[in-house]
Amino acid sequence: MSIAFANEVTVWIVGATLAALLAAALAIGVLSAAGKISVPLRHELWLRLGSWCGLFPVMIVPVLLGREWTIAAVTLLSLACYREYARATGLFRERLLSLAVVLGLLAANFAALDNWYGFYVALWPLTASILAIVSIPQDRPAGYIQRVALAVFAYMLFGAGLSHLSFMANDPGYRPIILLLLTTVALNDVAAFTAGKLIGGPKLLPATSPNKTISGALGAVAVTTLVVTLLGGALFEGTVLSFAPWLILLGLLVSVAGQAGDLMLSSIKRDLGIKDMGVVLPGHGGILDRFNSLLLVSPIIFHLVHYVIGLGTGQPTRLITGGG
Amino acid sequence: MDFKLRPARDLGLAPGERMRSLKRESGLFGTVTSGLWRRATRLYLRLAHRLEVVGRENLPAAPPYVLIANHSSHLDALTLAALPRGEAARGVRALAAGDVFFGSGRTTAFAAYAINALPVWRGRMKRGDLATLRQRLVEDGLVYIIFPEGTRSRTGEMGEFQAGLAMLVGGTGVPVVPCHVSGAFEAWPAARRFPRPGRVRVRIGPALDFSAVANDRAGGLSLAQACQKAVEDLR
């Protein structure tokens, strides 16, 4: 317990998350009682809040429990996201390619568990090569570009991309960093939704996502950048990253990459002609509908932080394979 | 089959609903579990029932096709499912009685993930359900296992074939392969809870082509009669 909450930023984030859930419940309750919101909107808000109440413990508890738990949770999340993607795009019918993506995804998370950065980095081009090669012996050139491109894209998002969250867990101070990402990405979505509803105005990209407005996008950028800058200031105190321009860049990237991930999934869904990727989470749709914002945030923020102050530097490497 | 950028037919169904859906398409997990089950049943049939297959050359080279047979035991379905190889084996779907195989959660999971069955609800099938089955047979290149008697014979004697088969294959050109299973009733009749060892033999006849048969009542009766005769001739 004391290790889990060793950093005060962890305490703040977990406390603020609980407070936000309570405040949201109160706000919806008050607005409903006053008759300020329509019945369908009220229903949607309660469903979303209910899903958040279930999701937050599933997201936060493994991070608090420890490195291995975090990596296990990220691996399961990646597999669940890939499953939805494969079933939505039809890639699941390509068993060999699908198996190769899953094995690549497991290998990336194993490299994180092993804290073997060389292997981890090598896996991206190696898996892409394997995906390009593996279906050639089937002698079915028709559709080759589509199926291989879909598989490489899948590995990029759910293998190489999301596993950066796993690799972050090798840093002794990983808890507040990962919690910061998980919660601010969620905050980013909520801020965009709320600012869009409150301010309204012109649509952002009506063909891609008809409900998103420019005001929502800018509101999210403002709120998320502010929160990340403030929390980051405490979290990275005494390091180069506590320099204000770095923190603002960090906040901007979380918000912009988060929204880009959301819009990326909207583009995928529009292209396929489907509304949701799944039915697991009431009010949200599939797991991927909820975690789309993390897909691009994870690698981008990992590499920014790693570049500026280093993540996991000085920690023992190759814990399982040895030779580190 | 060429790659198509097309969502799973069962997309958007909740897990329980999906397992009972005629639109269910297997993913990696389902392919592995049903593959293991298929290998286990082949081994079981070889060891416990010394399964003998006559006329394997009559199986079409590639799916889609429909396997039909006399029905007096659960071993019939296991025996027919053990016949196709390769891609055809992965495409095998037994059309199974919904009330027996998809009644409880446990049997549903078993039917969906091990035997890869699709539920047929006696007297409750809608026209849309049959259209789905027909479409999937042709488009997904499946192999259906169908027992046209509709239920297991309680005496071991073959009953009359029902006309419903025509609604699946009439006019499609999908070959129907008649089979006759012997020894299964003695090993595992409907009255027994568990099977006992005993020789099982299956004879496979030449495929029947019903592309000229209309998908209507008259067509259904003539198709059922032709199928019944083809299976009887294999005895």
- The pLDDT tens digits for A168-190 are 999 999 999 999 999 999 999 99
CA A68 to chain centre: 18
Q: Select the residue of B11, B14, B28 nearest A274 (Cβ to Cβ).
A: B11
Answer left, alpha or beta for residue B198, where phi above 0 means left and psi between -120 and 50 means alpha: left
CA-derived radius of gyration, chain A: 20
Q: In angstroms, what separates the C-alpha of A147 from chain B's closest C-alpha?
A: 7
Of A117-121, A216-220, B2-6, least confident by mean pLDDT is B2-6
Kind of pairing, strands B176-182 and B92-97? unpaired
Contact residues on chain A for B6, CB-CB shorter than 8 A: 90
Are the CB atoms for A61 and A55 separated by under 8 Å? Answer: no
| Partner residue facing A274 (CB), from B4, B7, B13 | B7
Contacts of B31 in chain A (CB under 8 A): 95
The pLDDT of residue A51: 86
Q: Note whether B4 contacts A143, CB cutoff 8 Å.
A: yes
Of B4, B11, B14, the CB nearest to A88: B11
Among A96, A114, A222, which Cα is nearest to A163's? A114
Chain B residue with Cα closest to A277: B12
Q: Which residue of A has its CA nearest to B6?
A: A90
pLDDT at A2: 72
CB A241, CB A247: distance < 8 Å: yes
Answer yes or no: do A142 and B2 touch at CB < 8 A: yes
Q: What is the DSSP letter of A161?
A: I
Contact A146 B5 (CB under 8 A): yes
Contact predicate B75/B179, CB 8 Å: no
Yes or no, beta carbons of A102 and B3 under 8 Å apart = no
pLDDT higher than 60, residue A324: no
Which pLDDT does position B121 carry in this prediction?
Answer: 87
Measured in angstroms, the CA of A267 and the nearest CA of chain B are apart by 14
| pLDDT for the residue numbered A313 | 87
Tell me if chain B has a CB within 8 Å of the CB of A278: yes
Q: Using CB atoms within 10 A of its CB, is residue A292 exposed (0-12), middle (13-18) or buried (19+)?
A: buried
Contacts of A142 in chain B (CB under 8 A): 2-3
pLDDT of residue A45: 86
> If you measure CA to CA, which chain A residue comes closest to B32?
A95
CB-based contacts of A1, cutoff 8 Å, min separation 6: none
Long-range contacts of B126-135 (CB under 8 A, 24+ apart): B129/B22, B130/B167, B130/B168, B132/B22, B132/B23, B133/B22, B133/B95, B133/B168, B134/B167, B134/B168, B134/B169, B134/B172
Where chain B has pLDDT below 70, the residues are 1
Q: Do A146 and B7 touch (CB under 8 A)?
A: no
**Residue-level pLDDT at A1:** 59
| Pairwise CB contact (< 8 Å): B3 & A143 | yes
Burial class of residue B171 (count of CB atoms within 10 Å of its CB; 0-12, 13-18, 19+): middle
pLDDT for A219:
97
Percent of chain A with pLDDT over 70: 99
Structure tokens at B86: 């390769």
Gap between the Cα atoms of A308 and A138, Å rounded = 46
Query: Does the distance separating the beta carbons of A142 and B8 come in below 8 Å?
Result: no
**What pLDDT is attached to residue B127?**
78
- The answer to whether residues A196 and A204 touch, using CB atoms and an 8 Å cutoff, is no
Extract long-range pairs of A211-218: CB within 8 Å, 24+ residues apart.
A212/A263, A216/A191, A216/A192, A217/A192, A217/A259
In the predicted model, is pLDDT for residue A283 greater than 80?
no
- Name the helix (H) or strand (E) containing B120: strand B117-120
How far is CA B49 from its chain centroid?
A: 20
User: What is the crossing angle of helices B105-113 and B28-49, to 10°?
Assistant: 90
Q: Which strands form B52-54's sheet, in the order they lie side by side?
A: B52-54, B201-204, B176-182, B65-69, B143-146, B92-97, B117-120
CA A231 to chain centre: 19
Do residue A89 and residue B7 have CB atoms under 8 angstroms apart? yes
- Cβ(A138)–Cβ(A271) under 8 Å? no
Q: What is the mean pLDDT of residues A302-319?
A: 93
Residue A85: is its pLDDT beyond 70? yes
Burial B183-204 (b: 16+ CB within 10 A, else e): bbbebbbeeeeebeeeebbbbb
Would you place residue A156 in the very low, low, confident or very high pLDDT band (cuts 50, 70, 90)?
A: very high
Minimal Cα–Cα distance from A210 to chain B, Å?
21
CA-closest candidate to residue A232, choices A192, A183, A191, A189: A183
How far is Cα B167 from Cα B185, in angstroms, rounded to an integer? Answer: 28
Topology at the third CATH level for domain B15-232: Glycerol-3-phosphate (1)-acyltransferase (3.40.1130)
- Dihedral sign (CA A87, A112, A168, A63): positive
Residues near A227 by Cβ (< 8 Å), separated by ≥ 6?
Answer: A184, A187, A251
End-to-end CA distance of chain B: 36
Side chain identity, residue B159: G
Partners of residue B136 in chain A, C-beta under 8 Å: none
Could you check whether the bond before residue B64 is cis, i.e. omega within 30 degrees of 0? yes
What pLDDT sits at residue B37?
Answer: 97
**For the ranges A55-59, A142-146, B129-133, B148-152, which has the lowest average pLDDT?**
A55-59
Least confident of A270-284, A303-317, B95-109, B139-153: A270-284
Query: Taking CB atoms and an 8 Å limit, are A143 and B2 in contact across chains?
Result: yes
Mapped onto helix, strand or coil, the DSSP state of residue B91 is coil
Average pLDDT, chain A: 93
Taking each helix axis from N to C terminus, what angle separates A67-89 and A244-272, rounded to the nearest 10 degrees?
Answer: 30
Report the chain A residue with the minimal C-alpha distance to residue B25. A93
